[in-house]
Structure 1
Amino acid sequence: MATSTPPNAAPNAAPDATPPGRSPVDPAELIADPYGAYGRLREAGPVHRVTGTDGRPAWVVTRYEDVRQALGDPLLSLDKRNALPGNYSGFALPPALDANLLNMDPPDHTRIRRLVSQAFTPRRVADLREPVRRTAAELLDAVAPDGRADLIAAYAAPLPIRVICDLLGVAPGDRRDFRGWTDALVAPDPQRPSAAKEAVGAMLAYFGQLIARKRAHPEDDLLSAMIAARDDGDRLSEDELMSLTFLVLFAGYENTVQLIGNAVLALLTHPGQLAALRAEPGRTAAAVEELTRWDGPAPLAIRRFPLEDVTIGGVTVPAGETVLLSLAAANRDPARFPEPDRLDLGRSDTAHLGLGHGIHYCLGAPLARLETEIALDELLTRLPGLALDADPAELRWRASMRTRGLIALPVRF
């Protein structure tokens, strides 16, 4: 994104050019420092019409109350068919992967979410506590003798991958390069423009074979239950079944990888907060909420398209244009959180939007919270002397404005 207009500009006016060197939404800065970049937009006004790197317009919403209300507004559609022709240029998935909850409105969204939400009830998530703890312990036991590790590759990534595969019923021998596939979609390599297409093809082939095996030999797992729901009651189309499998696997671990990595980095760069958490390990669940507010996995919510002209923060947004809700800006809004840029694990008010709000609230949020809580507890218990093994300024972030996550997190212990 490179240019913006004042909040009171005419809705359909072309954006004014931002003076060179003063762009408040430079793409590189949004990756390196989304809180500073979106924060400047928030201070300048509640809603900004910007021009994306693809040359298409979008509206960025920055303030907590506006973002929270917009997240639950039924007039803001997730269905790409409600975008103005030529206005939206998101990556085009084939129908077999595109018919998922991130592209749906009620009633289809309600029907499909009700089915899969059975896997994430508080009771079922609570039943996963000990299996998650055992997996975390195994991963840390494997690296403990080395004294050094990349905590993303050795811990933050494999932990949620194992958990979600166990939930779906994917046997260890059947697991593939899920992280490589999702990296190709979320943070594409400009040197390999064909990588995203190749990843989609690999996922289609893999999920097709996996569903066929589960249909032939059903077990007591989520994927078998979803197949049975389709085959017995015809409640899911084949594309919906494939897309839902993709989404549960993708969203079931992608956000959690970033959440764990960002949380560990936050603690290692705030030694006073780390010491306080070590002194009171029973506070880890509450700490996860503040860590999510302070540096969550998603700077932006999934894009929306108004079904009719809507007013957000006093600004009229035309029907069909792209609306981007900045969770990063909302979670650091001083009108909602005192001293929002300060990490405070003792903060009593942590009503953040880091995992969304409304009917599109993150389906796997209870599981992500549980995994992050256990990941931190086990890490601080099993790796004494844990410290960052690199200059924080030299850490590399994934090249994506949609997700906030480290490529690697070198630590010593």
Structure 2
Amino acid sequence: MTVAEAAAAAGCPAHLGDAFGNMPYPVYKELQEAGPVSPVILRDGSEAFLITRYDDVRACYGDLRLSSSLDDAPKPRGAGSLAAPPVGGLVLRRDEVSGHMMINQDPPNHTRLRKLVVPSFSAKRVNAMEPHILRIAKELLDGIDGSTGPVELIEAYAKPLPVMVQSQLLGVSPDKHDAFTHGMDELTGGKNVEAAQRGLDLIKELLAEQIERKRLQPEEDLLTTLVQVAEEEGRIEEIELLAAAIQVMLAGYFGIQSMIGNCVYWLLKFPEKKAELLADPSLMPAAMDEIFRFDGPQQPGSNRYATEDIEVGGGVIPKGSLVILSVSAANRDPRKFPDPDVLDFERENAAEHIAFGSGIHYCVGSRLALKVVGLATLALLQAFPQMRLAMPEEELDWELRTPFRGLSSLPVLLQ
């Protein structure tokens, strides 16, 4: 009996434990077939309702009865009175900064904050970053020596690249890269609550220091823009400024790291797809949409909180419940994407994936993420066209760092 069948038969929820992170898609398929709403238990013991079908997930993103605000969050099991959603499978205490992150806001505050951040991710601004992204990729690739054996690609390339790109966007001092990396690894590593809280506190401290530096030395970057908006127009509070900076850094770090690793893995698993891109790099935008649909980084999905009893696809979610909108399950829904488990760069509706969310909560950094992952992946393939896995694929280890999933390591042979 499958996980979903056993859960349905016993009236018990499915348990999304550590093994789920290795390959969640068979579990999603079972849950989709079982019904529109699935009760689940997360790794930390929290109970939730998982929405897995494409049309339902899209509709739920636009349902304001499903709140993003931490004020509406249920109290997780074993947590204190000030609890934030699980990060890396861990429940942290809620503080002022987490409560003011745009991802944890509903309209009208969400609308106001989003309008302030969106211009920094315009097509013009993102395209202007392309030379910087390529320079960073080249610097990292020039430092990789594959002549003596396997190279660990996550540590050598996928991990440092997004830190350097996000630092360029925000205007963070290069000498702070290592400290930021350490803080984000602590926060999302899933070791224990204490380590995760230390990581969050370190990131807050570092960004507060960088914000103060921008007041004294303004530059052409996102932090300076937010500081100026706060000081000149009064449309953003100091705590919101810090929260926005933290959200941009966190989302762009492990999300992009995960997707570079995911992209490379699938292109090595299906070498004919790698050959397609090397033969015709103009396929990269379509390939990015399809790979983000096929194996996007967000797992299991976006947290919401039911402010009243809600019916979804004939199933009822009780008021006060934690609800997870599973974009990754939705992107493998055969009702929307025929043959969803096939990686197809010619898929006509691949761009309709919802790996970046939907509606008012569509990720403002999606354009940058697609640009960075596409450029970084293509640069890597072109630098090392003979690249292949250095170990059997079944021995690779996947990490589930709420809300992202990616490879913890990716050993490759370059020659």
C-alpha change, 1:86 and 1:166, in structure 2 (3 Å) is closer
Mapped partners of 1:89, 1:364: distance in 2? 23
For 1:35, give the aligned amino acid.
Answer: Y
CA distance in 2, matches of 1:211, 1:389: 43
Q: Distance in 1 between matches of 2:403 and 2:321?
A: 18
Query: 2:135 matched to which residue of 1?
Result: 134
Comparing 81-90 and 253-262, the one that deviates more: 81-90
Deviations 1:356-379 (A, max 9, x none): 111111111000100111112211
Pair 1:300 & 2:300 matched: yes
Judged with a 3 Å threshold, the aligned counterparts in structure 2 of structure 1 residues 395 and 56 are, in CA distance, closer, same or farther, namely closer
Aligned counterparts of 2:187 and 2:119: Cα–Cα separation in 1:
27
Report what 2:269 is aligned to.
Answer: 269
Deviation at 1:183, TM superposition (A): 2.8
Trace 1:34-53 onto structure 2 (pairs within 5 A): 34-53=24-43
CA spacing shift, 1:55–1:168, aligned 2, 3 Å: closer
Measure, in 2, the Cα distance between the counterparts of 1:43 and 1:301: 18
User: Hey, what does 1:16 align to over in structure 2?
Assistant: 11
Aligned equivalent of 1:123: 124
Distance 2:307 2:223 in 1: 34
| Partners of 2:398 and 2:407 within 8 A in 1 | yes
The 5-angstrom pairing of residues 3-402 of structure 1 reads 16-17=11-12, 24-85=14-75, 90=85, 91-144=92-145, 146=147, 148-190=150-192, 193-350=193-350, 351-400=352-401, 402=403
TM-score with structure 2 length normalisation?
0.90
Distance in 2, Cα, partners of 1:299 & 1:52? 11
Distance (Å, rounded) in 2 between the aligned partners of 1:102 and 1:339: 32
Shift of 1:29: 2.8
Unaligned runs of 5+ in 2: 78-82, 86-91
1 or 2, which has the higher strand percentage?
2
Shift of residue 56 of structure 1? 4.0
Equivalences, count? 399
Alpha carbons 1:144, 1:383 under 8 Å: kept? no
TM-score (norm. length: structure 1): 0.90
Structure 1: how far apart are the matches of 2:317 and 2:292? 29
Q: 1:394 to 1:177 in 2, by over 3 A?
A: farther
Judge conservation of contact 1:355–1:365 (CA < 8 Å) in 2.
Answer: yes
Structure 1 counterpart of 2:88: none
Structure 1 stretch displaced more, 399-408 or 329-338: 399-408
Tell me which moved more, 87-96 or 211-220. 87-96
The answer as to whether partners of 1:5 and 1:49 remain within 8 angstroms in 2 is no
Query: How far off its partner does 1:328 sit?
Result: 2.1
What is the CA-CA distance between 1:384 and the residue it aligns to?
Answer: 2.4
Q: CA offset at residue 382 of structure 1? A: 1.0
For residue 401 of structure 2, give the secondary structure of its aligned residue in structure 1: coil
Residues 258, 404 of structure 1: 8 Å contact kept? yes
SS in 1 for 2:303: coil
Task: Tell me by how many angstroms 1:74 deviates.
Answer: 2.1
Alpha-carbon offset, residue 278 of structure 1: 1.8
